[in-house]
Amino acid sequence: METLISAIIYAIVFLFGTAIGSFINCLVWREHNNMRVADGRSRCVHCGRQLRWYENIPIFSYLFLAGKCHTCHKKIPGYYLLTEFFTGVLFLFVFWLDLYYFHFSWRHLIGDLILLAFLVTIFVGDVLYRVIWPEVVWLGLVAGAAYNFFSHGASWRSMVLGFVIGGGFFLAQHLLSQGRWVGGGDVRLGAMMGVWLGWPVILVAIFAAYILGAIVAVPLLIFKKKNWSTAVPFGPFLAIATFWALNHGERVVNWYVGLLK
C-alpha cells in the first residue's frame, strides 16, 4: 500500500513537471517571437491553428500525434518533447533529493521548484536561441525576493548584498573581458542568483560552480586541447551550484565562520 501511494505521488510530481515544461516551451516560443505571454490558447507553430485540448497534453500529445500537426502535417519541434520530459525528470529528482537529503520541508521544495522552473526556461532559451531574456531573469529575481521574504522573512540587506555581489562578480568579468568571457545575460543571472541565495551564500554558490566547472573542464582542456572559453558553457554549473547552495550553503558558511573563530 505504501509503495503504491509513493508511486502515485512520484507520478503526480513527474506529470506536474511535464506540465511546467510544456508551459516553458510556450513561454520560450512566445518570447522568441515577441508575442505576449498571455496571448490566448496554444497554436501550431507552423500553420497557427489553435490546438485542441488533447493536442496540448505534455508528452502524450507529441507521441499521439507522432510529432506532427494534424492539419499542416509539419513537424512539431523535437525540443518540445525534450523540455517536457526533462522538466518532469528534474522535478522528480529535486523532490527525491529534498525528501532524502535536504530534510524535507514544503518551504524548501516550493522554493527549489520555482527556481528550477526559471533555470530551465533560461537554459532552453539560451540553448535554442543563444539569449538570456532580461524579462525572464527579472521575473525570476522578483519571484526569488518574494519567496525569500514570505517563506522565511529573509532580510532585504542580505538579498541586496547578494544582488550586488552576484551581479558585480560577473559584471567585473564582463567589463574586463569586454564581453568575451561572460555576456550581459550572465551578469543578470548572477544578480538573480544573488537575490535567491542572499549574502553570504552567493559566494558559496559561485565558488562551488567554479570547482564543479573545473572538475569537468580541466580534463577536457588537457585531453581535447579545447579553448577555455569555448570548452564548456558555464550556465549548467551555475544552475547546479545554485541549487546545492540553496539547501546547503548556510551550513558551509557556518562551518567557515567556525574555522575563523
User: Which residues in this chain contact Zn ion in the complex, by CB under 5 A?
Assistant: 44, 46-47, 69, 71-72
Cell matching residue 149: 521574504
Taking the least distance from each CB to Zn ion, the nearer of 50 and 105 is 50
Compute the least distance from the CB of residue 84 to Zn ion, in Å: 19
Number of neighbouring beta carbons within 10 Å of residue 235: 18
Cell matching residue 144: 526569488
Taking the least distance from each CB to Zn ion, the nearer of 81 and 137 is 81
In whole angstroms, give the CA distance from residue 147 to residue 248: 18
Cell matching residue 53: 485540448
Number of neighbouring beta carbons within 10 Å of residue 259: 7
Taking the least distance from each CB to Zn ion, the nearer of 54 and 101 is 54
Which ranges of the chain would DSSP assign to H, the alpha helix? Answer: 2-32, 60-64, 78-100, 106-129, 134-152, 156-176, 184-197, 201-224, 228-231, 235-260
Taking the least distance from each CB to Zn ion, the nearer of 50 and 71 is 71
Taking the least distance from each CB to Zn ion, the nearer of 66 and 260 is 66
Compute the least distance from the CB of residue 66 to Zn ion, in Å: 13
Compute the least distance from the CB of residue 214 to Zn ion, in Å: 46
Compute the least distance from the CB of residue 69 to Zn ion, in Å: 3
Compute the least distance from the CB of residue 63 to Zn ion, in Å: 17
Taking the least distance from each CB to Zn ion, the nearer of 46 and 248 is 46
The answer to whether residues 237 and 200 touch, using CB atoms and an 8 Å cutoff, is no
- Interior angle at CA 179, CA 175 and CA 184, nearest 5: 90
Taking the least distance from each CB to Zn ion, the nearer of 69 and 208 is 69
Compute the least distance from the CB of residue 48 to Zn ion, in Å: 7
CA dihedral sign of residues 90, 96, 102, 108? positive
Compute the least distance from the CB of residue 67 to Zn ion, in Å: 12
The maximal CA–CA distance of the chain, rounded, in angstroms, is 70
Contacts of 158 (CB under 8 A, 6+ apart): 198, 199
